Structure 1
Amino acid sequence: MRTEVRTRSEVLEIGVIAPPEYHALADIHGGRSYLQVASWAAVKAEWSSELLAWRNSDGEVVGTTLVLYRRLPGVSRWYAYLPEGPDIDWADPRLERWLDPLLEHLDRRQVFAVRLGPPAVLKRWQATTLKTSVRRGCRVDDVLPDVVEPVGSSVAERLRDLGWNRGGEEGTGGDAQPRYLFQVPIGGRTHAELWSGLSKEWKRNIQKAEKSGIEILQGSESDLPAFFELLQTTERRNGFRLGRSLAYYQRQYRVMNAERPGRMRLYLSTWHGEVLAAHTMNVVGRRVWYQSGASANHRRDVRPSHVLQWKMMTDAQQLGADRYDMRGVSDSLDPEDRAFGLLRWKLGTGGELVQTVGEWERALPGPINQLLLRAMTRYRARG
C-alpha cells in the first residue's frame, strides 16, 4: 500500500520497504541512528514495527524510517514512534512534502498520534566554552553557544507551523531520547590531535591506568552478565535507574550483531583478570555511539573508565567515524548539582555539547485522537 501527496514540484510516495533494501540505504541524509536500524525493532520487543521509504517520481528512495507501533490498552488504535528519525531531507523548506504522506499512511494504519525525533541540531557549545561557564545555578542555555545551526532553527519553526508540539511541552510527556548530547568530532583528526584534545586530567588518568596494568578487551555475549552486574552497581552509586534488564542487553547484542557483525560491541576494562568497567558501543556506517557504561565501586584509583573510553574513541577513529557520540548529558553547569558530574567527565574529552531540536508529537485528525493522545501520555507517565 502506498500513500502520496501532490505538491507544486514533485510527488513523494511512501510505502513499506524490504529489510535488504533498507539496510543498503543507511547514509542518505548524513547517517542513520542505531535507533533506526531494522534490528532495533527486535530490541523493542513490546512494540510492533514497520520499515518505510519515501520515493520520488522516478521511484528512487529518497528517505527512510523505522516506525514503532504501540497500542493503547483497551483501544483498537495505535501510537507511532520514530526514534531519532525519520531519515529525510530536513533542510527541505517544504517539510510537508515528507510529513503529509507519512501522516496519511499512519492514518490508514489506525494510528491516533505520532512522535518523531528529527536529528537536526539547534546549537553547539565547545568544551572550553562550557568549562569557563561552570557556576552555581547556571544551565547550558544561559551560555552563548559557539554555533547556532540555521537548519535546526528552521526545522523547529516549520514543525510548529505544521501543527506539531515539542516534547516536554504541556501534555507531551517530555522527550524519550536525550535532547542534549555530548559528541567528540573525529573525522579528519589524527590520533595525536585526538590525544591533544583531552584535558590534563584525562591524559593523566589514562596514563595511570596503563601503568597500573589495566587491559582493555572486547567482550562477547557471555560477558554481558558481568557488565549488567556492574551497571546495577553504577546505578546504585549514582542514584539513577535505566530500567533495562539483562535480557534486554542480551537481546540487543544478539539481534544487532546478527544484522551486521560488530554493530554492538562490549568493551571490558580488566585489572589482574577482574572486570572493573564495561561499556557498550554501537556502530552504524560512519556513526559510532557509546551507549551504556558501568564500573565497580572498588579500585577506582586505577582509572578503568578513562582508558576504556580512550580505546573506544580510537577504535571509532579507525572505523572511519565522523563523530564519537557519548549520548545524553544534563544541561546543568552547577558544580553542586549531582547531574553535572557526568557532563563534567565528558567535557574532559574536548568534544562539544550538542542541542538537538528534540522530539515532536501530534495527534492525527479525528474527533477522539487528541483525547487518546492525552491518555497515552498518562499511560507512559506511569511507566
Structure 2
Amino acid sequence: MTTSMIPSPARWDTFVRAHPDGHLLQLSTWGQHKRAFGWTDALVGVANASGDLTGGALLLFRPLPLRLGTMAYLPMGPLLTDSAAEPALWDAIHVEARRHGAAFLKWEPGILDKPPPFASLGFRASAQTIQPPRTMLLDLVGDEEAILARMNQGTRRKIRQSLKGDVIYSEDQRADVARFNAIMQATGTRNAFGVHAPEYYALAYDLFIPQDGALILAEHESDILAGIMVFAVGKSAWYLYGASSDVKRNLMASYGVQWKAIQWARARGCKRYDMWGIPDAEPEELETEFERRSDGLWGVYGFKRGWGGEVLRSLGAWDRVYNPLVYRAYETAVKLRERRNHAD
C-alpha cells in the first residue's frame, strides 16, 4: 500500500542526495532559495506500508498575471525508488498543484535515458522552457590527465597558464560573496546578459555552501579576477554561476577557477560535471555560429565548448493543463511577448 505524505525538508534532502538521479533543483533548499524571489514551494511524497519514503517531488509555484491562479513547476523530478508508487505520486502532485490554484503544471524532467510516457500522463509539449534545455556535460571518469586529454588544445594551454604565476585560488567564505557579486555585475555588463541581484548569490551561499557547493575565487595582488559557484548532489556537479573581471585577463583566471571547480567535484566523488546552459542549437550550428554571435548564451559557448564535454539536450518542457481557458490566455501572452522581443 502506498500513501501520500509530506516529507520533512531534512528527510527529503537525504532522499534526493542518495537517489541516482538526485538533482540540485530538487533539494528543499532550492525551494527555500526560490521562495525569497517570488515563488512558493511545496514538498510532496509517497511512502510504503512500512513508512519508508519511496518517491516525491519539490514543486514550485509562481503567480500568473491578473490573478489567474498560478503556474506549478516541477524541475528535474519527480524521484522514485519504487516504480509501483508512480501513479500515487502523480496523484499527489496534481492534488498539491490544484491546492495552490495552478492553472497548469510545467514539468522539466531534465536529461533521462528513457523518456517518460508524456502523453499517457496527460502532458503536452511546450516551447516555453524555464531552464536552458541544452547543456555541455563533462565526463569526470579517469584521472586528471584523462580529463585534460578530452579538452581541446587551447583550453588545456589556458588551464596550465592559469596555474602559473602568483594567482591564488581558494574556496572562500561568506564575506567574499560581495567580491564575487562585484565581478558578476561586470560580467553581465561585458557579455550583455542578465545577472541576478546580489542578494540572490548571497542567499545561495547561505543555503548550499559548504554542504552542497563551493565558492571558488581567483585572486592576484588583491585583485579578484574570477569566481565560480559550483554545486554537487550525489555523482553530479553543476556549474551554475561564474564571473570574471575586466583586469589581468591574460592570466586566464576564468580557466583556473573552472579547473579548480572540476577538481572540487572529483574530490566529492562526482562523475559528471554539467556546464549548465548553451544555445539551444544543434551541434553543427553551434560550431558554425559561435565565432560570430555573442547574444544570449552564445557569449559563453565559446568558453564552454573547449572543455571536452558532450552536447546534450534535455527532454524540454511539458505542460499538464488544469484550466484550459487560463492556459490559452497564457500561451497567447507568451506569443505576444516573444513577438515584441523579436521586434526589439
Residue 327 of structure 2: aligned partner: 370
- Which amino acid is the alignment partner of residue 346 of structure 1? K
Residue 51 of structure 1: aligned partner: 43
Conservation of the 8 A alpha-carbon contact between 1:329 and 1:343: yes
Cα distance per residue 1:308-349 (max 9 Å; x no partner) = 111111111111002111111112331322254522322221
- Which amino acid is the alignment partner of residue 250 of structure 1? A
Conservation of the 8 A alpha-carbon contact between 2:236 and 2:272: yes
Within 5 Å, which residues of 2 pair with 1:152-167? 152=115, 155=116, 158-167=117-126
Conservation of the 8 A alpha-carbon contact between 1:363 and 1:369: no
Residue 139 of structure 2: aligned partner: 185
RMSD over aligned Cα, in angstroms? 2.9
Change (3 A) 1:191 1:367: closer
Cα distance per residue 1:171-210 (max 9 Å; x no partner) = xxx11101101111114x1222122222211221122222
Change (3 A) 1:198 1:56: same
Cα distance per residue 1:141-182 (max 9 Å; x no partner) = xxxxxxxx5x13xx2xx21344322231xxxxx111011011
Residue 243 of structure 2: aligned partner: 294
- Which amino acid is the alignment partner of residue 329 of structure 1? I
d(CA) in 2 for partners of 1:182, 1:378:
28
Query: Do residues 265 (structure 1) and 214 (structure 2) align?
Result: yes
Query: Do residues 354 (structure 1) and 306 (structure 2) align?
Result: no
d(CA) in 2 for partners of 1:225, 1:323:
29
Which of 24, 27, 37 does residue 34 from structure 1 map onto? Answer: 24
- Which amino acid is the alignment partner of residue 115 of structure 1? K
Conservation of the 8 A alpha-carbon contact between 1:79 and 1:114: yes
d(CA) in 1 for partners of 2:8, 2:151:
43
Residue 138 of structure 1: aligned partner: none
- Please give the TM-score of this superposition, normalised by the length of structure 1: 0.77
d(CA) in 2 for partners of 1:100, 1:378:
31
Q: CA deviation at 1:220?
A: 1.5
Q: CA deviation at 1:76?
A: 7.3
d(CA) in 2 for partners of 1:13, 1:178:
34
Query: Do residues 336 (structure 1) and 327 (structure 2) align?
Result: no
Query: Do residues 62 (structure 1) and 54 (structure 2) align?
Result: yes
Conservation of the 8 A alpha-carbon contact between 1:316 and 1:324: yes
Change (3 A) 1:350 1:176: same
Q: CA deviation at 1:87?
A: 2.1
d(CA) in 2 for partners of 1:310, 1:117:
29
Residue 199 of structure 2: aligned partner: 247
d(CA) in 2 for partners of 1:356, 1:217:
33
Cα distance per residue 1:112-156 (max 9 Å; x no partner) = 2111211334xxxxxxxxxxxxxxxxxxxxxxxxxxx5x13xx2x
Conservation of the 8 A alpha-carbon contact between 1:28 and 1:87: no
Q: CA deviation at 1:107?
A: 2.5
- Which amino acid is the alignment partner of residue 252 of structure 1? A
- Which amino acid is the alignment partner of residue 286 of structure 1? K
Query: Do residues 99 (structure 1) and 90 (structure 2) align?
Result: yes
Conservation of the 8 A alpha-carbon contact between 1:268 and 1:277: yes
**Structure 1 alignment gaps of length 5 or more:** 1-10, 122-148, 169-173
Change (3 A) 1:246 1:374: same
**Structure 2 alignment gaps of length 5 or more:** none
Query: Do residues 314 (structure 1) and 263 (structure 2) align?
Result: yes
- Please give the TM-score of this superposition, normalised by the length of structure 2: 0.85
Q: CA deviation at 1:377?
A: 4.9
Q: CA deviation at 1:97?
A: 5.7
- Which amino acid is the alignment partner of residue 21 of structure 2? G
d(CA) in 1 for partners of 2:179, 2:146:
34
Secondary structure of the equivalent of 1:344? helix
Residue 236 of structure 1: aligned partner: 189
Larger % of helix: which?
A: 2
Conservation of the 8 A alpha-carbon contact between 1:81 and 1:114: yes
